[in-house]
Structure 1
Amino acid sequence: MASASLRQSMLAYGSQAMAFSLISSSFNFYYVKVFLDIYHIEQMWFHLAQALFLVWNAINDPLFAYLQDSTSSRFTRTRRESILYAAPFFALSYIVPWFSWGSNPIMVGLHLILTLFFWDTMLTFVGLAASALFTEISQDPDHRLKLVRIGSIGCLFGACSVSILEYTSGSLTNFFGFQVTSICIGVASYLLFRYTGNNGHTQYDREKMSSGIESDITHDKSLQNQSYLSLSCQIIADKNFVSFVVMNFFQIFHTTFMANFMKVMGDELVQLHDIEEFPWLRSFFYGSSRFLPMILIISTTPLIGKIGYYNTIKVSFLWKITAGIGMYMIGRNHPILLMLYMALDSCFANAMFSMFNMPLSDIVDTDMQKHHRSHPISSLVYGNNALVTKPAISLSPMMTVAVLNTYGYQQLDKKTLTVPQISSLHDTMFLLLCIQPIVIGTLQLITWSFYSIRDRKTNQVNKVFTATTDNILN
C-alpha cells in the first residue's frame, strides 16, 4: 500500500511538471515578443514594469515560503493543497497577457505590470509547493533521481505548447488563433495541477495516513515560535547555500535571456530567405528549444547517476564557455549553424536548471540534520533561493532591451533604420548570444567550486535509471 501511494505521489509530481511546462515555457517565450511587437509597449513602461516586478519578486518568495512552512490554514497545511487551491488562479494568470486592454500606452503599461505581478504571485506560490513536494515525497536518493526523470518526462510533454502555438498562430501572424490556443493550454494545465493537488502526498502525509490520521498539519510546530529572519539567517549561514544561489542567479539570468529573446534575435539573425529551402526549420527550431532539454535529461540520467550532479553541472559550464568562444570565432554568417548553437545553448542551460532541485534537496536535508528539525523547512530554503535569484528574471530583459534599443531595435518595425544600422543591430545581437554565455559560464564555474556537499547522495548505485518509465509508474 505504501509503495502504491509512493508511485501515485511520483505520478502526481510528473503531472504538475507537465502543467508547469505547458504554461511557463510558452509564457516566457512569448510575453516579451507580444508586448514589444504586438502591443508596442513603450520602453519607459517596459522598464517600469520590470523594476516593480523585481521588487515584488524580492518580497513574495520569502513571504509565501514562511507561510507555507509555518502556518496551518487550509491553503497551506499540505503541499498538495497549496497546489490544489492555487491551480485555477495560476491558469488564469497565464491567459491574462494575451488579451489586450487597449492601445493607449498607459493601458499597455498597466497591462504588463498586472500580468507580471499576477503571474509571478501564482508561479511563486505553486512553485514553492511543488519544489517542496519534490524534496518531501521521499528522502531516498534513488526516489529523488526517479522524480528528476519523471519530472523531465512531464516537462517534455508540456514543452509542446510552444510548437502548438507556433503552428496555430503562424508565428503570431494569426493572433486570434494564438489566443484561442492559449485558453486551451491554460485549461489543460489546471486539470493537471488539480490531479497533483488531489494525489501529491509527501512521505510525512503518507506516514500520518498509515497511522490513521487522514489530515494533519505537516509543519514543525516549533517553527511557529521562530521568526522568518532567524530561520533565514540559519539558512544563509550555510556556505553551500550561498554557493548554490549565486551560481543559480547567473543560470536564471541566462535561461531568461534565451527564453525571452531567442525568437526576437532568431527572427532577425536567421531570415526566412536564409533557409528558404527549409521553410519549416525555424518553427521547429523554436519548438525544439523547449523539448530538447528534457530529452537530454531523460537520455543521460544513467551517466548523471554515475558522475553525480555536481560534476554534471560543472561540465555544462565548461561547455557553455567553449561553445560561446567557438561560435564567436565562426561568426554570424552561418544561419543554420547559428540556429544549432542557439538551440544547444538553450538546451544545456534549461537541462541543468531542471536538475537544481537535487542540490537544493541536499541542502534542505543538511539543514534539517544540523538544526535537529522534526520536519524540513523546504519552502523556506527554496524561498530564500528565489529571493536571491528571482531578480535575474527582471534584470535580464531590462538590460537586454536597453542594449537592443540603443542600437535601434525599437525603430526596426518603423522601417526607419538604414542598412548599416540594421547590420550594427544584428552584430550586437550576435555579440550578446556569444559573449554572455562565456562570462556567465566563467562566473558560475568559480562560484560552484565552493559547493562542498557534492555527490553525498548521487554517487549511489545507478540501478534506478535502467528501469523504463513504465516500470517506474506501474
Structure 2
Amino acid sequence: MMKEEKVSVSSKFWLCSADCLCGTLSGLITGGGMTYFYTKYLGLDEGLASIVWMIFAVWNALNDPLFGYISDRTKSKLGRRIPYIRYGALLYGVIFILSWFLWPLGGSQTALFVQMLVSLFFFDTFYTAIATSLYVLPYTMAESNQARSGIFVWKIFFTLLSLAAPLVLFPLVRPDVGESASRFQTIMIMLGVVTTLVIFFSTFFYKEKYTSDAEEAPGLWESICQCFKNRAFLVYEVISFTVIFVQTILMQGVVYYFDEFTVPMPLAYASLGVGAVCGIILWIKSMGKIGVAKCIIVMSVAFAAGATLVIFAGQYVIPAMIAFFIIGLGFSGGMYLVPLMNGEVIDYDEAKTGFRREGMYAGVNSLITKPAISFANAAFVMIIGWFGYDNAVKAGAQDAMAKFGVKVAWMALPALLFIISAIAMKAYPLVGAEWKKLKEELSRKHEVER
C-alpha cells in the first residue's frame, strides 16, 4: 500500500504567496493595465499599442520552451527551479516599477512605442524564469492528484487575490486623463518591492521531490516534438489557451465595463466570488466522482453561458449578478481543474518516455498559450474600436453602440472559445481503468527510486 503523500502547510503557503504576487504584477502589466496606461493616460495610439502586443507575442512565445529546456537540464544544489525564482526576483520587481514611469526617451508616439515594447520584453523574460518555475513545482513536490489537489486549493485562494489587483485595485488607483500619476506610481513601487521580497524569501520553504537525470534527457528539438506527439497534451492546449485568453480579456475589459455601466462593482464582485467558492466546492466533490475531463466540460459550458448573458443583459443589475455567479463557477474550474489536467499530461509523458520534463511542457504550453495574452489585448482594443469607442471621452459618456461594443469585446470570444474547449475535451485520452493502472505503475516506480 502506497504511503499517503503530504505537503507541509508552510510549503503551500510560501509557494502560493510567491505565485500570487508574481501573478499580480503580470496581471497588472499584461491584463490591460499597461495598455490602458500607455494609451489612455500617456496617449499612445491604439493601433501602435496593438502592434506592440503582436510583436511582443513572438518573443513571449519563444522564450518559454527555451527556458523550460534550460531549467529541466539545470544542475544545482538548490534544485532545477529554485535558483531562477530566488535570483530573478529583484530584476522582476525593478522592471515592473520602471514600466510605469516615462523614460528619458520622451513622450512622442515613437518613444512610447519603444518604451512599451522594451518594457514588455524584459518584464516577460524575468516573469518566464520565475513563473514557469513556480508553475511546475507542484508536480515535483507531489505525485498524486490528492496531494497536488491540496496545493491547488491553496493556489485558488491566492490566485483570486492576485486577480483582485487588476480587477479591483487598478480601477481604483489608475490615473485618469489629465490627473497626476504620482499616487498610482507610488503604489506600484510598493507592490514591486513587496513582491521581490516575498518571492526571494519563499524559496527557503519548499523544494523539489521528483526529478530525472538531466544529462540523459532528450535535446531541445526532440523534446518539443515529443510534446506534440502526446495527444493528451494537444487536447490540454485547447483548454489552456482558452483559459489564458479569457483571463487576460476579463482583466482587460473590466475597467471599460464599469466605466460605462452602472452595475455596482461590489455586487458584481460579490457574485463572482460566491460563484468561485461554490465552484471550488463543486469541482472538489465532482472530480472524484466523474473525473477531471467531464468536470472541465461542465465548467466550459457554464462559463460560456455566463458570458453570453453578460453580452445581452449585462447592463442590468440582476442579470449581471447571475452572469457573474455563473462565470465564477467556471472561473474556479479553470484554476483548479486545468492544473490537475496538466499534471496528468506530464505524468503520462514520464510513463511513456522515462523522463520528468515539467519545464519543457510548461515552455511548450506557453509557446502556444502566451500569444493568447497578446491576442486578447489586441482583440479587445480593435473590437471596441469597430463599435466606435472614443478614448478621448470621459468615463460613462460613450454612445449606445460603443457601450454594446464593450460587452461584445469583453465576452463574445470567451464564450466561443469555451464551447470549442468543451467539444475538444471529448478527445482527451487519460480516462478510465487503463489510465488509472498506468498511474499506479508510475507511483510504484517513484517509490522504488526513493
User: Which bracket does the TM-score occupy, shorter chain normalised?
Assistant: 0.7 to 0.9
Deviation at 1:242, TM superposition (A): 0.5
Aligned residues: 425
In 2, the alpha carbon distance for the partners of 1:38 and 1:402 equals 18
Scaled by the length of structure 1, what TM-score is found? 0.80
Determine the structure 2 residue equivalent to 1:82: 84
Deviates more, 1:332-341 or 1:230-239: 332-341
- AA aligned to 1:352 is G
Report the CA distance shift for 1:73/1:139 in structure 2 as closer, same or farther (over 3 A).
closer
**1: CA distance, partners of 2:413 / 2:186:** 36
Question: By how many angstroms is 1:174 displaced?
Answer: 6.0
Q: What are the superposed Cα offsets for residues 355-394 of structure 1, whole Å, 9 maximum, x if unpaired? A: 3221111111111111123xx1100011111111111111
Q: Residue 71 of structure 1 corresponds to which residue in structure 2?
A: 74
Identify if the C-alpha distance between structure 1 residues 261 and 157 changes in structure 2 by more than 3 Å, giving closer, same or farther. closer
Deviates more, 1:131-140 or 1:297-306: 297-306
The residue that corresponds to 1:151 in the other structure is 155
Distance 1:159 1:246, change over 3 A: closer
Whole-angstrom distance in 2 between the partners of 1:400 and 1:168: 22
What's the CA shift string for 1:228-247, capped at 9, x where partnerless?
11111112101110111022
1:299-448 to 2 correspondences below 5 Å: 299-300=281-282, 302-307=284-289, 308-328=291-311, 330-331=312-313, 333-335=315-317, 337-338=319-320, 341=323, 344-345=326-327, 348-349=330-331, 351-373=333-355, 376-409=356-389, 411-413=390-392, 422-448=399-425
CA displacement at 1:288 relative to structure 2: 5.8
Query: Residue type matched to 2:114 in 1?
Result: L
Comparing 352-361 and 162-171, the one that deviates more: 162-171
Query: Given that residues 22 and 158 in structure 1 are in contact (C-alpha distance below 8 angstroms), is that contact kept between their aligned partners in structure 2?
Result: yes
Separation in structure 2 between the aligned mates of residue 56 and residue 289 of structure 1, nearest angstrom: 37
SS state of the match for residue 130, structure 2?
helix
Cα distance in 1 for residues equivalent to 2:173 and 2:45: 28
Deviation per residue, 1:276-333 (Å, 9 max, x gap): xxxxx33x368669966764565445424434332222111111233344445x5454
Q: CA RMSD in A?
A: 3.2
Structure 2: gaps (5+ residues): 440-450
Query: In 1, are the aligned partners of 2:28 and 2:165 still within 8 Å (CA)?
Result: yes
Matches within 5 A, 1:191-210: 191-204=197-210
Shift in CA distance, 321/57, structure 1 to aligned 2, threshold 3 Å: same
SS in 2 for 1:396: helix
Equivalent position SS for 2:428: coil
Single out whichever of 92-101 and 363-372 deviates more from structure 2. 92-101
Call closer, same or farther: CA 1:343–1:39 in 2, change over 3 Å.
farther
CA contact (8 A) 1:254 1:349 kept: no
2-structure distance, mates of 1:67, 1:107:
34
Rounded Cα–Cα distance in structure 2 between residues aligned with 1:116 and 1:379 = 22
**One of 18, 24, 33 as aligned partner of 2:36:** 33
- Give the Cα–Cα distance (whole angstroms) in 2 for the partners of residues 89 and 293 of structure 1: 37
Look up the match of 2:229.
237
Kindly provide the amino acid, as one letter, of the partner of residue 14 in structure 2.
A
Answer with 309-318 or 144-153: which moved more: 309-318
Distance in 2 (alpha carbons) for counterparts of 1:437 and 1:168: 27
Q: Secondary structure of 2:399's match?
A: helix
Q: Show the counterpart of 2:448.
A: none
Residue 140 of structure 1 is matched in structure 2 by: 144
* Structural mapping, 1:176-191, within 5 Å: 176-191=182-197
Change in Cα spacing, 1:429 to 1:446, as seen in structure 2 (3 Å) is: same
Distance 1:385 1:394, change over 3 A: same
SS of the counterpart of 2:99? helix
Contact kept in structure 2, 1:15 and 1:195, CA below 8 Å: no
User: Within 2, Cα distance between the matches of 1:404 and 1:98?
Assistant: 24
In structure 1, stretches of 5+ residues that fail to align are: 205-217, 276-280, 461-474
TM-score, normalisation: structure 2: 0.83
Question: For the Cα contact (< 8 Å) 1:9–1:202, is it kept in 2?
Answer: no
Residues of 2 paired with 1:396 and 1:386: CA distance? 15
Alpha-carbon separation, structure 2, partners of 1:167 and 1:64: 36
SS of 1:356's equivalent in the other structure is: helix
Residue 264 (structure 1) shift: 1.8
Q: Which residue of 1 aligns with 2:17?
A: 15
Cα shift readout 1:197-224 (whole Å, capped 9, x = no counterpart): 22220114xxxxxxxxxxxxx6523345
- Maintained 8 Å contact 1:137/1:203: yes
Determine which of 90, 100, 103 is the counterpart of 2:102. 100
Q: Does 1:122 align with 2:104?
A: no
Please name the residue that 1:215 is paired with.
none
Q: Distance in 2 between matches of 1:244 and 1:80?
A: 26
What secondary structure does 1:355 align onto? Answer: helix
Report what 2:250 is aligned to: 258
Q: Distance in 1 between matches of 2:79 and 2:48?
A: 39
> What is the Cα deviation at residue 53 of structure 1?
0.8
Which letter does structure 1 place at the counterpart of 2:301? L
- Asked if structure 2 preserves the Cα contact closer than 8 Å seen for 1:314 and 1:448, the reply is yes
How far apart are the structure 2 equivalents of 1:293 and 1:134? 26
